[in-house]
Amino acid sequence: MDKNAHIYVAGHRGLVGSALVRALERQGHERILHRTSRELDLRDALAVREFFDKEQVDYVFLAAAKVGGIGANYDYPADFIRDNLLIQTNVIEAAYRTGVRKLMFLGSTCIYPKMAPQPLREDSLLTGTLEPTNEPYAIAKIAGIKMCQAYNRQFGTRFISVMPTNLYGPNDNFDIESSHVLPALIRKFHDAKRDRAPYVTLWGTGTPRREFLHVDDMADACLFLMDRYEDSDIVNIGWGEDIPIAGLAELVKSIVGYEGEIRYDSNRPDGTPRKLVDVSKLSGLGWKASIPLEAGLRETYSWYVRHSAEAPELTGLQGRLG
């Protein structure tokens, strides 16, 4: 991507989008386009077409999505499949119609079958049943992948798709009701420490294993692939190692400085037993993550403490679609 290119980051205020903006700015890109969800509702096809017609976009990072943890996916399945299908369809179609040079679609490792062999290889897609707790979201993301592949085959576009593992870092969603596991843990232990609560209750058994990647590593990988990767096949982005939820909880507890007890509610769902991605394809292309989990968590907690005091709305759903 040349420095004068018009680069649209869809979802620039969310965890992923804001990291992409930071990475692009570090590389010297100055013509970075973004809009909040109030300025541009990506679910509105006409508004999206008008935006692309006006701005003459060269490159697109499609990071805008409706996202959430187990609770949010369980309570609002229609919202998750509808909004994500609309966002993806409108942006991909507009990118094709206006001759965008290249588009990157950001998916999720939830696209893989619940019981797929570990670590998750890219060719595991559509080989089994999905995890029920986030199936509507996963189906929307699979549709986005297939849409990019179909446009490449039929129209000769350069649309690529990447599947990041669980991400964390600055600008995450720390809302207890809708966040993913790691920011939810940070918020729970922080609030428990503040309130001097004797214990914290977590969903499930603590036995599922999860992989976590700092979002700045993810953004670096995305820019690397945007410059070097041209295939329609998906690419995993991850750290390559995982940790039990119970071990993660103990690590977050220690970083936050909470001294109470951890209890597990086994009546609540665990989700997928394990989600570790195979990163051999990305490693073979020449990229590897560099931010260790504990160091990244300490930096993320420091960010949360600073910004939650200055702007409490950052713990909610601000910027998830914008």
Q: What does the buried/exposed string (b/e) look like for 11-20 if buried means 16 or more CB atoms within 10 Å of the residue's CB?
A: bbbbbbbbbb
Who's near 121: CB < 8 A, 6+ residues apart? 236, 278
Q: Give the pair of three-digit tokens for residue 85.
A: 């299908």
Q: Considering the domain boundaries, does residue 72 fall inside one? A: yes
> In terms of residue numbers, what domain contains 216?
7-171+211-241+274-292
244 cis-preceded (ω within 30 degrees of 0):
no
Q: Considering the domain boundaries, does residue 202 fall inside one? A: no
Q: Considering the domain boundaries, does residue 82 fall inside one? A: yes
Annotated binding site for NADP(+): 11-17, 106-109, 141, 164-167, 180
Whether 137 is catalytic? yes
Q: Considering the domain boundaries, does residue 217 fall inside one? A: yes
Beta-ladder partners of 210: 243, 275
Q: Which residue in 137, 168, 229, 304 is the catalytic one? A: 137
DSSP-assigned letter for residue 296:
H
CATH number, domain with residue 229:
3.40.50.720
C-beta of residue 109 within 8 angstroms of C-beta of residue 279? no
Q: Give the pair of three-digit tokens for residue 66.
A: 């409706």
Q: Considering the domain boundaries, does residue 55 fall inside one? A: yes
Instruction: Check the CA dihedral 166-132-86-89 and report its sign.
Output: positive
CB atoms within 10 A of CB 274: 17
Q: Considering the domain boundaries, does residue 303 fall inside one? A: no
pTM: 0.90
Per-residue pLDDT of the chain (322 residues; tens, 9 = 90+): 999 999 999 999 999 999 999 999 999 999 999 999 999 999 999 999 999 999 999 999 999 999 877 778 889 999 999 999 999 999 999 999 999 999 999 999 999 999 999 999 999 999 999 989 889 999 999 999 999 999 999 999 999 999 999 999 999 989 877 778 899 999 999 999 999 999 999 989 999 999 999 999 999 999 999 999 999 999 999 999 999 999 999 999 999 999 999 999 999 888 778 889 999 999 999 999 999 999 999 999 999 999 887 544 444 333 333 3
Number of domains into which the chain is organized = 1
Annotated binding site: 11-17, 106-109, 141, 164-167, 180, 188, 203, 210, 270
Q: Considering the domain boundaries, does residue 198 fall inside one? A: no
Q: Considering the domain boundaries, does residue 127 fall inside one? A: yes
Annotated binding site for substrate: 188, 203, 210, 270
